[in-house]
Structure 1
């Protein structure tokens, strides 16, 4: 039975007997031929046909780097981490600058996270020494249970063109579309441990092999894709039913919240960005809010936004336009705000008007990993499920969760500025809205996936 299940799993991910051709071993089981230690003083040795990395105090991240660089490939290996506190990773398509760090060298680029801690982000993608987290595994809870502590785990990384897919023990973990690197080194990381921990913890890698022949991505369903190419739909997104709400060139699919045509002023398109043009900071008094022509019930919405200093805006949903409100149209809001410079951040209750909050109802968690500086692009996400549960993400980190129409939600509404609106936020479907608050804010990569009812 075990053999049948194992064979079925291999075939499901395109690595059955027909796919064995083209594989090359990167480790002979006896020596470190083909590898070079760089950037730190952690130890690498060989035990029982495995490369063993050993932590050392007071040294930076240390890497065992391949001699060669790789572009499109499938990488497989088995990994075991000795304890639950030692973080590690596998670099791929990465750079090495031998002159950096005063000649000690620096590795930068994509990293497959190895994380045995309770956070459980093994299989997530980190950008070492550059941008930080690209795919935190809070974006895919189903994969967070795949890692087996204290045991060998099967790692699989697929890279083709701009697309990277990762797997943990056969379970799809992350899908990233990014063009910063399309080739580079593979490396095994021993993470720095500072001076406060005991050294000598071990990470084991074995059965390391790569295939660069006729690389094909495994078909993956129901795994969120992080796509860093502006206004682009990748092949994984298309196959999963995503569609663009902004094509980067036209106002197609959008209209004024107060009319049947797009506003004649107050909005513009420049360099693939949909911009709210600055006026006097008044709410919906220049071009006014814009809404999608189409209404949505259950959906997954993602959007990138960039704030100017002191700016205010928001993304609303389940907007019915029945209220005929004088200011901004009525609907639940994902708050977009410069918390430091805009006074609205200090209003409301307990911070419920700050960045990524459910405006005037629930304050977002202030997780420092989620927030990027004003002037940088941020990625917002609103996941509105069929059961009424709504989750707000900022740069891949979940910050707000609630259930529309629940007793808790109704109590929040009763104590808010929305108490006068009957059944606020409980519409079965509605428009998606981008708010004009009189400040310059840019949007791009606005995408939606409709969920089944």
Structure 2
């Protein structure tokens, strides 16, 4: 009889659990903080008029009111309002472990950012990697936040796919397998010792979640930019957006040596989904030589991950025509790939125009905080060439260079550069993409392209 009784209880519990899947559940009962716990800082959290109200206090680190339960795949919604502007956010799939910075909260955060940069709705990783989806990647969403009003946040997590929405506007789309589950938390950002920021309040209400929702319950795909941190992978929305792999992650298909009919027999290695320049003498194209795409491109959105070794130099060039027939590296506009600290080229040129992310020897890259990864870590580069000849360089989600091919400023920059001897430099209607062999060990992966019209 006992066995039957236990089995019956198990069936009842399983049925109750299944009944929760696909249905909205309130995470806040409107009366007290049952089901929540406070972590890290000592900002105050209280319940009034069916709302949770968080208040800043002086000299405390970031504070988090976290769910006692962890969540993996879900749809989450909350409304919030700031009484006065200050930074905050909604943690999700987050962790607090004794062996990580004495329990400091880390994990994904949907940003609340009313500052002039307007990144509310972007995705930040608290306590570790920093910005994963800064909202400069989706300017339309920068106008969705409502000052001095209630804002509605929605977070959708399905496997490695993370999507955020602010007041119904798609904000961020991230593919990242790093954190498959964790708690949800309401942040009151630390204010340091700024007395003028004491007592700032944020209100939350209508906090609810659907666990393990059906596919039909997720929002349909849209057309916003996707940050995909799975190597050599094209997500469903990227495919819908017209993005494809330019290197397949395994073979030399689609590539050949610059000025050569085939892929170099030496100097390049394909290993574990990476395309690697072999170290040699630190000089241009004296070992395997540069490689170029067999296709030519005019207007495009090019993405690539790259990893430097200490003191390394390389580059990603575009509008390469090979018509110059020169020795050394083939000629083209170049996204500089460089260890700025250890390679001497960083100190040459003018105003830093040979540093990482720059339009090499022409325009220096703007440096943001945390925009450069350490040597040995993967960086994400991006070059966008619009049909009107406006060009952008992006580094780890930050716009670092913007110019117009062929305008008077561009021509003046070329005239004072090492490229002045090349007729119509950088002005070809179309050209190839090039990865440079500069004799140093550099790795590439996740090379993707989208044709723009």
Task: Pick the TM interval, shorter chain.
Answer: over 0.9
- The equivalences for 1:16-415 within 5 A come to 22-84=23-85, 86-97=86-97, 102=102, 105-197=103-195, 198-212=197-211, 213-215=213-215, 216-415=217-416
Task: State TM-score, norm by structure 2.
Answer: 0.92
Determine the C-alpha separation between the residues in 1 that align with 2:384 and 2:138.
13
Asked if the contact 1:292–1:433 (Cα under 8 Å) also holds between the matched residues in 2, the reply is yes
Asked if the contact 1:165–1:217 (Cα under 8 Å) also holds between the matched residues in 2, the reply is no
Report deviation, 1:146: 1.0
Q: Who is 2:13 aligned against?
A: none
Q: Who is 1:442 aligned against?
A: 443
Asked if the contact 1:172–1:220 (Cα under 8 Å) also holds between the matched residues in 2, the reply is no
Asked if the contact 1:70–1:184 (Cα under 8 Å) also holds between the matched residues in 2, the reply is yes
Q: 1:217 to 1:424 in 2, by over 3 A?
A: farther
Q: Who is 2:18 aligned against?
A: none
Determine the C-alpha separation between the residues in 2 that align with 1:33 and 1:135.
32
Determine the C-alpha separation between the residues in 2 that align with 1:260 and 1:141.
42
SS at match of 2:121: coil
5+ long unaligned stretches in structure 2: 1-20
Asked if the contact 2:94–2:108 (Cα under 8 Å) also holds between the matched residues in 1, the reply is yes
Determine the C-alpha separation between the residues in 2 that align with 1:284 and 1:253.
20
- Per mean C-alpha deviation after superposition, the further-off stretch among 437-446 and 418-427 is 418-427
Report deviation, 1:99: 6.9
SS at match of 2:345: helix
Q: 1:320 to 1:433 in 2, by over 3 A?
A: same
Determine the C-alpha separation between the residues in 1 that align with 2:378 and 2:177.
16
Report deviation, 1:124: 0.8
Asked if the contact 1:369–1:397 (Cα under 8 Å) also holds between the matched residues in 2, the reply is no
Report deviation, 1:96: 2.2
Asked if the contact 1:35–1:64 (Cα under 8 Å) also holds between the matched residues in 2, the reply is yes
1:168-197 deviation line (CA, Å, top 9, x unaligned)? 111111111111111111111111111124
Determine the C-alpha separation between the residues in 2 that align with 1:200 and 1:259.
67
Structure 1 vs Structure 2 CA RMSD: 1.5
Report deviation, 1:278: 0.7
Report deviation, 1:364: 0.7
Determine the C-alpha separation between the residues in 2 that align with 1:100 and 1:425.
49
SS at match of 1:322: coil
SS at match of 1:144: helix
Q: 1:205 to 1:344 in 2, by over 3 A?
A: same
SS at match of 1:345: helix
Report deviation, 1:50: 1.4
Determine the C-alpha separation between the residues in 1 that align with 2:203 and 2:297.
48
SS at match of 1:325: coil
Asked if the contact 2:173–2:225 (Cα under 8 Å) also holds between the matched residues in 1, the reply is yes
Determine the C-alpha separation between the residues in 2 that align with 1:345 and 1:217.
47
Report deviation, 1:368: 2.5
Q: 1:99 to 1:425 in 2, by over 3 A?
A: closer
Determine the C-alpha separation between the residues in 2 that align with 1:58 and 1:100.
22
Report deviation, 1:46: 1.8
Determine the C-alpha separation between the residues in 1 that align with 2:80 and 2:198.
19
Asked if the contact 2:267–2:278 (Cα under 8 Å) also holds between the matched residues in 1, the reply is yes
Asked if the contact 2:223–2:237 (Cα under 8 Å) also holds between the matched residues in 1, the reply is no
5+ long unaligned stretches in structure 1: 1-19
Determine the C-alpha separation between the residues in 1 that align with 2:334 and 2:49.
56
Report deviation, 1:115: 0.3
SS at match of 2:402: strand
Query: What is the number of residues matched between the two proteins?
Result: 430
Asked if the contact 1:317–1:431 (Cα under 8 Å) also holds between the matched residues in 2, the reply is yes
Asked if the contact 1:335–1:357 (Cα under 8 Å) also holds between the matched residues in 2, the reply is yes
SS at match of 2:136: helix
SS at match of 2:105: strand
